[in-house]
Structure formats: structure tokens, C-alpha cells
């Protein structure tokens, strides 16, 4: 009987078993940390310390965006802070916040770039035709475009609509907000962003 118990104890605490378990746990943790670091280095920073690039087709604001089919990298990090707002025409919170964004743009638009990027078709919240109609109906005239690839949803971790991302003049992402953003909050965020740029 005592021999069986001793045998079980040896099986449970066999030499090397604890080390092997710790090694596996440590290896898994290391891989997880590497994956997270890799995501931030590649996913949000493009491996260059700047944001992930993506192709767009402009609805409006071609003069600011640099043409009808600009790349995001050509707009961000050019010395002017940028607010990137992912929206969709059939997204009620988007429709609610964008008139406030327009008022802020009307007042402070010389100091920053406001860019609305429609991802409605990728999140089943609208079409390009619906987006154009919404922009006209609500009098939104700041630069707006639609993303060409759904990759942007994953690259920027868009987990809710709308999502607003703030970049400094060097193109570094400094803040991200998921969900409806009141006009007053946008003003506060911008004031802090512009103050840090001085």
C-alpha cells in the first residue's frame, strides 16, 4: 500500500515535470507578449512608428486629402493634428455626433484635419450611396471618404460605431474613443492635442 502511494507521489512530482510545466507556461506567455507587441508594432504603427496605411476613395475634401483616391499615410503626420472618425450612414450614434463634429470643424478647422471614413459596408451599416446622401442632408462638408478594404476595421480595432482616433502632427496615435462622442468632449480632446503641439 505504501509502495503504491509512493509510486503515485513520484508520478505526480516526477523529476522535470514541474520544470516542463513552468517552461510551457513561460513559453506561452512569451508568445502572447510577442503577438501583442507585434500587433502594436505592425497593426497600429505600421512598423514605422506611424499609423497603419489604408486606401480611400474621397466623397469630398479632395483638396485636403490630395485627390480622389488618397492613401491615409499621405494625410496623417504632415505636421497637423488629425481626427479620424470611422462612421456609417445607418449608424444612429454616427448621425447624432457628426453635426457636432461639423461645428467644431467650422470653428477650429484651420488647426487640425477632420477626416470621416465610412466603413458602413464592412459593418453592415449602410452603403456608399446612403453615405453620400447623409453627408448632403446633414451639411457635413469636412473631408470624408470610404475605406477600400475591410482590413481597416481590424487594423484599428474598431469594436463599436462610431470610433474616433486622434493623431498628433507627427502621425502618432495619441487617443482612441469608441462610441458616440459629444461635441464638448471632442473640443476638450482637440484643445489638449493642440496644446501639446505648441
For 150-168, the pLDDT digits (tens) are: 999 999 999 999 999 999 9
- What average pLDDT does this structure show over 35-39? 32
- At 102-138, the pLDDT tens digits run 999 999 999 999 999 999 999 999 999 999 999 999 9
Q: Which of 16-25, 29-38, 125-134 has the lowest mean pLDDT?
A: 29-38
What span, in angstroms and rounded, lies between the C-alpha atoms of 72 and 67?
11
pLDDT the model gives residue 137: 96
Task: Check residues 17 and 190 and name the one with the higher pLDDT.
Answer: 190
Q: What is the pLDDT of residue 14?
A: 46
* pLDDT band of 17, cuts 50, 70, 90: low
Q: pLDDT, tens digit, for every residue of 73-94?
A: 999 999 999 999 999 999 999 9
**Confidence grade of residue 30 (pLDDT, cut at 50, 70, 90):** very low
Q: Left if phi > 0, otherwise alpha if psi is -120 to 50, otherwise beta: which for 84? A: beta
Statement: residue 142 has pLDDT above 50: yes
C-alpha distance from residue 119 to each of 30, 47, 186 (Å): 34, 24, 21
Whole-number pLDDT of residue 198: 73
Question: pLDDT tens for residues 49-72?
Answer: 457 899 999 999 999 999 999 999
pLDDT surpasses 70 at 1: no
Residue 179 pLDDT greater than 60, yes or no: yes
Taking residues 140-145, report their average pLDDT: 98
Please give the model's pTM, rounded to 2 decimal places.
0.75
* Entry field: residues in the chain: 198
Q: Is 135 exposed, middle or buried (0-12, 13-18, 19+ CB in 10 A)?
A: buried
- pLDDT at residue 23 greater than cutoff 70: no
Amino acid at each position: 500500500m505504501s509502495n503504491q502511494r509512493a509510486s503515485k507521489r513520484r508520478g505526480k512530482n516526477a523529476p522535470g515535470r514541474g520544470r516542463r510545466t513552468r517552461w510551457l507556461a513561460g513559453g506561452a506567455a512569451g508568445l502572447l507578449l510577442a503577438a501583442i507587441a507585434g500587433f502594436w508594432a505592425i497593426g497600429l504603427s505600421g512598423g514605422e512608428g506611424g499609423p497603419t496605411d489604408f486606401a480611400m476613395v474621397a466623397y469630398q475634401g479632395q483638396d485636403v486629402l490630395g485627390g480622389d483616391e488618397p492613401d491615409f499615410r499621405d494625410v496623417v503626420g504632415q505636421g497637423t493634428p488629425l481626427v479620424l472618425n470611422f462612421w456609417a450612414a445607418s449608424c444612429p450614434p454616427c448621425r447624432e455626433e457628426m453635426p457636432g463634429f461639423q461645428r467644431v470643424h467650422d470653428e477650429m478647422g484651420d488647426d487640425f484635419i477632420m477626416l470621416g471614413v465610412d466603413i458602413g459596408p464592412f459593418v453592415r451599416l449602410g452603403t456608399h450611396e446612403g453615405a453620400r446622401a447623409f453627408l448632403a442632408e446633414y451639411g457635413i462638408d469636412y473631408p470624408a471618404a470610404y475605406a477600400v478594404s475591410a482590413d481597416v476595421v481590424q487594423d484599428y480595432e474598431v469594436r463599436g460605431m462610431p470610433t474616433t482616433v486622434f493623431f498628433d502632427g507627427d502621425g502618432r496615435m495619441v487617443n482612441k474613443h469608441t462610441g458616440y462622442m459629444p461635441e464638448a468632449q471632442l473640443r476638450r480632446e482637440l484643445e489638449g492635442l493642440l496644446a501639446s503641439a505648441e
